[in-house]
Amino acid sequence: MATQSNPYADFHRQCVEASQSWSEQLGDNLRWLDDARSEGRSLFAGLELPTRKTEAWRYTPIAPIVQGDILRLRTTESADAPQGITGDFYTLTFHNGQLAASNIDDSALEVIPFSSADAAGQALIKEYLGKTFDAARHPFAALNAGTLQDGALIRVRKDSKALKPVQIVHTADVSGEAASSYNRVIVVVESGAKLELLETYVDTHERKVFQNTVTEVFLAANSTMTHYALNCEGANQIHTGCVFVEQQGGSHYEQHAFATGGALKRRDINVKLLGQLASCKLNGVYLAGGREHVDFHTTIEHVAPHCVSEETYKGIINGKGKAVFNGRVHIHRDAQQSSAAMNNNNLLLTNTAEVNTKPELEIYADDVKCAHGATVGQLDDMALFYFQSRGITRSDAHRMLSRAFVESVMAEMEIETAHAYVLELAERFYNEGAQEATA
């Protein structure tokens, strides 16, 4: 009797084999990464892919990845690739996973592409590469480490600030076979320096693309970084992205996340407050409709005393969309006088929409101030009736209430073009929700 194959085990093996094959294809200018790739590949080979029995992936099945026929690279450039946000930015573009363009010329910044790094640049990259996370706990970050298709290190020099925000655009061809990309971004903000960074993942329309990205952030003492993470890929696309942040004393990290749904979209944000008086603020909005799936997992580690964290995530789910939010705050034993607040609010527009929310506090210190909360609800029928009684159509009322639910979070985006960009995407979502609700 033939033994039935395990598709997850088969895909895992295929990933290891593909990673080895790609490593040999990526060119001599990236050979200096071979040891790092080999180590990452070995780590990934020793892990199991997450299943429904894996607690951190309990509500996010990876079947779209396993069954997606996405294990191929596409390294050629194409003129039909969609662009990022238009604005007064410095821009780096990763096209099909490889750094294709950069217009950065600023004395406050040093940008080192992996593919053109000299000996000194390679040494600097190796100093930071993979230092923020344990690959054994993040299987798709381990897969990224085993492939390392390309990447860039951005360094902001001590006590300086770039003249413009920096936008990193992740894009791909809009036609062709399904494919995947694996790139790494390392951001080093030195003492007293400031940076505004946008990472924009753009829609490749009907083409299936699997983007596997890792961003590592190192904030030195008294530095500041504002990070816009805009995941605007379409319903056919797959994304697993990790952001790992390490903060020293007096530093501040702020992230504004926005995500539309996809075939599978998973974002892991991990922040370590390592020095006293460090602070972080995480804001996020996610919108999922149709049969889309979006998942945010956040972890904030209060390691040092006198640190502050705040996170607010809001989601709207329509149709048969699914969303997951898991927020964890870990107060270590020595992190006395920590302050942490976490809120997650969700709005379900249909009876078939689904959300799983799980805020967690893990506290080992006794002199702390911590709070968390989560809500799941629907639009208030009385509010809809109130609008209609004053001559506003039900569909318009639906749009207005949906917009009001999340706008307070999106309004905190201080870069106007980024705010306008996500507002336009959100308006399309509100219109679809209103049409479905009043059909």
For 410: left if phi > 0, alpha if psi spans -120 to 50, otherwise beta; the answer is: alpha
Choose the weakest-confidence range: 123-127, 213-217, 255-259, 376-380: 376-380
Q: pLDDT at position 84, please?
A: 87
pLDDT, average across residues 405-434: 93
Q: pLDDT at position 188, please?
A: 98
Choose the weakest-confidence range: 180-194, 266-280, 395-409, 424-438: 424-438
Provide, rounded to the nearest whole percent, the portion of the chain with pLDDT above 70: 97
Q: Which residues of 192-217 are buried (b: 16+ CB within 10 A; e: fewer)?
A: bbbbbbbbbbbbbeebbbbbbbbbbb
* pTM of the predicted structure, to 2 decimals: 0.95
pLDDT, tens digit, for every residue of 144-199?
A: 999 999 999 999 999 999 999 999 999 887 777 888 999 999 999 999 999 999 99
Which candidate, 109, 76, 80, 104, places its Cα nearest to that of 91?
104
Question: pLDDT band at 1, cuts 50/70/90?
Answer: very low
pLDDT, average across residues 210-223: 97
pLDDT, average across residues 199-219: 89
pLDDT, average across residues 393-413: 93
Q: pLDDT at position 72, please?
A: 86
Q: pLDDT at position 80, please?
A: 58
Between 379 and 256, where is the model more confident?
256
Q: pLDDT at position 78, please?
A: 57
Q: pLDDT at position 333, please?
A: 96
> Is pLDDT above 90 for 5?
no
Q: pLDDT at position 179, please?
A: 87
pLDDT, average across residues 109-117: 95
Q: H helices within 90-229, ranges in order?
A: 119-128, 139-147
Asked whether 127 and 86 are in contact (CB, 8 A), the reply is: no
> Is pLDDT above 80 for 379?
yes
Q: pLDDT at position 175, please?
A: 74
Residue type, 420: A
Report the run of H or E that residue 178 belongs to, with start and end: none
**What values do phi and psi take at 223, rounded to 5?**
-95, 165
**What values do phi and psi take at 23, rounded to 5?**
-55, -35
Q: 321 in helix, strand or coil?
A: coil
pLDDT, tens digit, for every residue of 340-357?
A: 999 999 999 999 999 999
pLDDT, average across residues 291-312: 98
DSSP 42: H
Asked whether 384 and 398 are in contact (CB, 8 A), the reply is: yes
Report the chain's mean pLDDT, rounded to a whole number.
Answer: 92
> Is pLDDT above 60 for 231?
yes
Question: pLDDT band at 439, cuts 50/70/90?
Answer: low
Q: 416 in helix, strand or coil?
A: helix
pLDDT, tens digit, for every residue of 17-37?
A: 999 888 777 778 899 999 999
Q: pLDDT at position 422, please?
A: 95
Question: pLDDT band at 217, cuts 50/70/90?
Answer: very high
pLDDT, average across residues 386-401: 90
